Amino acid sequence: MTILVGVDGSPSSLHAVRWAATEAVRRRVPVRLLSVCPADAQVEQGHQVLRAAESLAREAAPGAEVRQELRVGLAAALLIEESAAAGLVVLGSRGLGGFAGMLVGSVSSGVAAHGRCPVVVVRGRTLEDPPPAGGPIVVGVDGSAVSDAAVEFAFDEARLRGVPLVAVHTWTDMSAGETWSVLPLDIDYEAVAKDEERLLAERMTSWRQKYPDVEVSAQVVRDRPVRGLLAAAEQAQLIVVGSRGRTALTGIGLGSTSQALLHHSTCPVAVARSISS
């Protein structure tokens, strides 16, 4: 399985190339640079972009096996199609076609929503900054099947990088069932917090046994998922979430938490998905 990288020559996509090449060496797999031109007239420019990207990849990760490919068509559609044969897709947060003020590009958002393998959108503190090189891996845990896929991806990354894993579970006094409701005013919040901590510890038990060499800390946060995860990932090098949470509606490509993190995270965001999703 290869790591597929969308390349358009933008600073954001070049950060993605460096990140992906380093990841490919860790995983001992090839990295495939894919440039998509909207028209035949731009093919030569696309080849120039690929040559520069390959040079950058080899500089960032000596020994990486790098492949190039140029296609003509719609970038998001082709990347989604090609993701079926990839182990991981890596994209910059915004390409050359992005509109001023947009925090994440439509291609990155679309592939993260509909890709058929895990997708990493590479981000730094600003659109121009490189992604952080150090820090733990942070993963959001909610007990869903897609959350389990995110947890497995996060443990694999932590083991590959030799860094700690922070498992974060959030809860609030808002309950999302068939309708939104507020928990009763006389609820014992301390007891709820302890129950949530116990549930997270139970969910982590089998993962700790499967990955005994990964240092794990579990955090239960009384806050909304986006704010809780962003706070936990302030010093992280990667944040991992599922493509949809427990409250997402069937047919939605990305849950609101995953989508918000793509816009506001200060480090790369990995969107994992279960086989059934």
| Domains, in order of start, for the chain | 2-122 (3.40.50.620), 137-272 (3.40.50.12370)
Output the pTM of the full model.
0.89
Instruction: Summarize pLDDT for 118-137 with one digit per residue, the tens.
Output: 999 999 988 788 999 999 99
Given the structure tokens 């993962």, which residue do they identify? 207
Please report, rounded to a whole number, the percentage of residues in the chain having pLDDT higher than 70.
85
Count CB-CB contacts under 10 A for residue 218.
16
Mean pLDDT of the region 25-30? 97
C-alpha 272: how far from its chain's center?
7
Sign of CA dihedral 146, 27, 166, 132: negative
Q: Which amino acid is at 147?
A: S
Digit-coded pLDDT (tens) for 184-211: 555 666 777 788 888 898 889 999 999 9
Q: Hey, which residues does 122 pair with through a beta bridge?
A: 92
Closest-CA residue to 219 (of 191, 245, 193, 246): 193
Q: Parallel, antiparallel, or unpaired for β 119-122 and 269-272?
A: antiparallel
**pLDDT score, position 230:** 94
